[in-house]
């Protein structure tokens, strides 16, 4: 990618000289004005100075012209200063004639000092110009790197979104295969073992072994069915979010011994698959975190739906987020993997996530907007 080209200003931002026009004619007029002002000051001082130091007030004018206008205007100021001082303030006045070697020496000193002033000012002007050019190029590089970084961040967000979508699709596929293929084979195996147990009832030991195997197969079937439903509950697609959440909360409370209060309207409507999946995963992640980290005896889930958005609130009465982890999250802005996944799911749908935690528990609030194209009639 080529570097963008841009003009670099030759005058530093905020400088005094920016108030004046930058055309050559304006610079010449400015240098003449400087010479005139220096002449007027010297003329006002003439009663006190007489012919002593006739060039003294012209040095600032030359320095000003050299600094702000350039070499040519500074030379013009020098010539005008020389003529004005020689004609008005050097004896004999009103004449350009040199009266002696002392006046010639003073003239040469004036020219030498003026040349030094012009040379130093021009050197400084060139250095400032080089610095401005370098600064402009650096700013262009920073701007280019910023654009590249923004593009990289956008690509990363797109990749994260795609990975989450693939994860949901893969969970749905695994759940379907476990139910359709492995589940059917386990049912057939259970039937065969049951039949075999009936044929060999006379062999008590063998019958007991077969009965134990049948019990193990039934437990395995139940466990696989539970895992399949946890990966992606069929109720979420068939009956909607409300039914899926009630089923999941009942199972979670039974497994974890944590009392869960689910507050959701009986006529809670149906929404798009993406929206219902995101809400279900947020509730699932919150309850998992409560079970693992909070030591809370109970949890409360409340879903409310307005005309514009859905609000999901999950609260517990546990120990809250550890101070060290909370400080790290606030300092670095990097949450854990589960929280990061919730943030990303909600961001894809235009929602947001708020987490408040103290010694009395944690409250997670998720909000997702509802568009007319995502909501459907209540089942």
- Do 320 and 357 meet the contact criterion of CB atoms below 8 Å apart? yes
- Residue 57 DSSP label: T
Between 142 and 12, where is the model more confident? 142
Question: Taking 80 as the threshold, does the pLDDT of residue 5 lie above it?
Answer: no
Q: What is the pLDDT of residue 378?
A: 39
111 to 31, 79, 296, 302, 362: CA distances (angstroms): 17, 9, 91, 90, 82
User: Nearest 5°: CA angle at 42, between 40 and 47?
Assistant: 110
Length of the chain measured in residues: 379
Measure the CA–CA gap between 110 and 78, rounded to whole angstroms.
9
Burial of 321 (0-12, 13-18, 19+ CB in 10 A): buried
pLDDT band with cut points at 50, 70 and 90 for residue 317: very high
Cα dihedral value 362, 363, 364, 367, nearest 10: -170
H/E element, 103: helix 101-177
pLDDT band with cut points at 50, 70 and 90 for residue 340: confident
Q: What is the pLDDT of residue 350?
A: 92
Question: Taking 60 as the threshold, does the pLDDT of residue 232 lie above it?
Answer: yes
pLDDT band with cut points at 50, 70 and 90 for residue 91: confident
End-to-end alpha-carbon separation of the chain, Å?
54
Q: What is the pLDDT of residue 200?
A: 66
Q: What is the pLDDT of residue 373?
A: 44
Residues 164-183 have pLDDT tens digits of 888 888 888 888 888 777 77
Phi, psi of 304 (to 5 degrees): -125, 150
Measure the CA–CA gap between 275 and 264, rounded to whole angstroms.
16
Question: Taking 80 as the threshold, does the pLDDT of residue 364 lie above it?
Answer: yes
Q: What does 256-288 look like in DSSP terms, one character per residue? A: H--EEEEE--TT---B-HHHHHHHHHHHHHHHH
- Collapsing DSSP states into helix, strand and coil, what is residue 230? helix
- Residue 359 structure tokens: 């010694």
Q: Where are the domains of the chain?
A: 16-149, 234-379
Q: What does 16-42 look like in DSSP terms, one character per residue? A: GGGGS--SHHHHHHHHHHHHHHHHHHH
pLDDT band with cut points at 50, 70 and 90 for residue 374: low
Compute the average pLDDT of residues 45-69.
84
Q: What is the pLDDT of residue 365?
A: 95
Q: Which fold has domain 234-379?
A: Heat Shock Protein 90 (3.30.565)
Compute the average pLDDT of residues 250-260.
92
How many helical (H) and strand (E) elements, i.e. helices and strands, does the chain have?
Answer: 11, 5
Burial of 185 (0-12, 13-18, 19+ CB in 10 A): exposed
Measure the CA–CA gap between 231 and 313, rounded to whole angstroms.
22
- Do 299 and 259 meet the contact criterion of CB atoms below 8 Å apart? yes
């Amino acid at each position: 990618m080529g570097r963008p080209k841009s003009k670099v200003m030759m005058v530093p931002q905020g400088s005094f000289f920016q108030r004046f026009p930058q055309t050559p004619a304006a610079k010449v007029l400015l240098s003449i004005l400087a010479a005139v002002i220096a002449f007027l000051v010297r003329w006002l001082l003439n009663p006190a100075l007489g012919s002593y130091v006739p060039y003294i007030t012209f040095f600032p004018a030359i320095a000003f012209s050299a600094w702000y206008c350039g070499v040519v205007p500074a030379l013009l100021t020098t010539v005008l200063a020389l003529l004005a001082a020689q004609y008005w303030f050097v004896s004999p006045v009103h004449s350009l004639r040199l009266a002696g070697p002392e006046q010639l020496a003073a003239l040469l000193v004036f020219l030498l000092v003026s040349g030094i002033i012009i040379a130093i000012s021009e050197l400084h002007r060139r250095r400032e110009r080089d610095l401005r050019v370098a600064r402009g190029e650096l700013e262009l590089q920073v701007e280019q790197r910023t654009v590249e970084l923004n593009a990289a961040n956008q690509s990363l967000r797109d990749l994260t979104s795609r990975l989450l979508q693939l994860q949901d699709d893969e969970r749905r596929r695994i759940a379907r295969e476990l139910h359709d293929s492995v589940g059917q084979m386990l049912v057939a195996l259970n039937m065969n073992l049951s039949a075999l147990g009936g044929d060999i009832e006379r062999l008590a030991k063998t019958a007991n072994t077969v009965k134990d195997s049948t019990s193990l197969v039934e437990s395995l079937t139940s466990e696989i069915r539970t895992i399949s439903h946890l990966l992606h509950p069929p109720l979420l697609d068939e009956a909607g979010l409300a039914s899926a959440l009630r089923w999941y909360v009942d199972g979670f409370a039974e497994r974890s011994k944590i009392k869960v209060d689910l507050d959701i309207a009986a006529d809670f409507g149906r929404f798009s698959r993406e929206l219902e999946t995101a809400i279900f995963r947020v509730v699932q992640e919150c309850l998992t975190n409560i079970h693992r980290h909070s030591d809370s005896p109970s949890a409360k889930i409340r879903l409310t739906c307005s005309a514009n958005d859905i609000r999901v609130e999950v609260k517990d009465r546990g120990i809250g987020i550890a101070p060290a982890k909370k400080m790290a999250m606030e300092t670095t802005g990097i949450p854990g993997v589960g929280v990061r996944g919730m943030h990303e799911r909600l961001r894809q749908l235009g929602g947001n996530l708020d987490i408040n935690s103290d010694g009395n528990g944690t409250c997670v609030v998720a909000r997702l907007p509802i568009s007319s194209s995502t909501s459907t009639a209540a089942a």
